[in-house]
Amino acid sequence: MRTSIEIGRALGIPIRLHITFLLILPPFILIFMQQPPPFGFAEIDSFAVRATLATLTTVVLFGCVIAHELSHSYVAMGYGVKIDSITLFIFGGIASMRTIPKDPRVEARIAIAGPLMSIFLATIFIAVQIPFNTIPGGIWWKGFGILSFSLGAINLVLALFNLLPAFPMDGGRILRAYLVKKEGSYISATRKAVQVGKIFAILMAAFGLLHGGWMLILIAFFIYIAASEEESATIIQSAMEGIKVRDIMTKELVTVSPYLTVREFIEFMLRDRHKGYPVVDPGSGELLGVVSLTDVKSVPSEKHDEITVGDIMSRELITINPDATAAEALRLIADHNIGRVLVIEDGVLDGILSKTDLIRAIEILRG
């Protein structure tokens, strides 16, 4: 089941709405409708105008969240980091980066970009609201003054909140960058930043319980869980950098002939129980390509006896050296959106490394 939908692209990055985002829209609109000025439209008599302005404020607010995440992404892309998507969900937005740079200066620059964008937007909105709130006007004029002031104030709060050293928020990442630069250990810095983040989460939840702030409790829960996941991912990533491809690859190679029909190949897969194979010429021993279950799915069943493996195999060979790290292999597989890579040493096919091999290694590392 798909949990998010793509609504557009910016800087070539897919912008997605998570299903939980739809849950937060009505409450935000209702809050803006019921709040008195300068943060809401409760004093506007017309229900239609009040509802329209509240909806517009909510939409622009989440546009500001996208701008916040795009600023992270823009700086990250400048350092060669690939961004898979930006997703809006119940607690805000998140830019999905393939890797987090371990250079503390780079991570700090990426992290600070978001709050700086929010401060910039806050400045713009607060400047824009001045004429609306100083020059007399009609109902819409007054409404746009409230809208501008509200968005300015919220963006300022968003910037300051994100700068709290509660990992994995922006301030927490800046804290980790500082600790890495000071101590030199990425894992140690992550653990300390995570502990600070968890303390902030506990304090935030306690404050929410005392004052009835259910949203604050949910955010605290999210920060606590996200910090724990980030710590685990960092430890695994570092461990994988110490594992060679040759240690986890499949060495007992099973290859297939390009002359097999698709039907014969399907029968072979059913017996062997793998989803992808190197294709090797039986005469010369030359590596020709890779064929997988995905390639088979594109062939109509009535043509299974006519079309051969050689017709559907991928000739683009994604390879890796056996002395490369498991972390490098994982990035290679993710970058090319493939299920396996061929392991080549001195021009000779030495093995194959699949997502399954990597997942098994990760499970072992997690214990």
Which residues define the annotated binding site for Zn(2+)?
Answer: 68, 72, 170
Nearest to 355 by CA among 281, 249, 228: 249
Residue 363 bears catalytic tag: no
Nearest to 114 by CA among 148, 61, 70: 70
C-alpha 75/C-alpha 202 separation (Å) is 31
Q: What is the CA radius of gyration of the chain?
A: 26
C-alpha 247/C-alpha 244 separation (Å) is 5
Assigned token pair, 136: 């007399």
Cβ atoms within 10 Å, residue 78: 12
Give the active site residue among 6, 43, 69, 363: 69
> What residues contact residue 289 under an 8 Å CB cut-off, 6+ apart?
258, 278, 279, 313, 314, 315, 316, 317
> What residues contact residue 17 under an 8 Å CB cut-off, 6+ apart?
4, 5, 7, 87, 88
C-alpha 51/C-alpha 64 separation (Å) is 20
Give the 3-state DSSP-derived string for 35-91, with helices as H, strands as E and coil as C: CCCCCCCCCCCCHHHHHHHHHHHHHHHHHHHHHHHHHHHHHHHHCCCCEEEEEEECC
Nearest to 270 by CA among 290, 250, 296, 244: 296
C-alpha 33/C-alpha 47 separation (Å) is 9
Q: What angle do CA 87, 366, 84 make, to 5 degrees?
A: 20
C-alpha 115/C-alpha 68 separation (Å) is 7
Enumerate the known binding-site residues: 68, 72, 170
Which residues are designated catalytic? 69
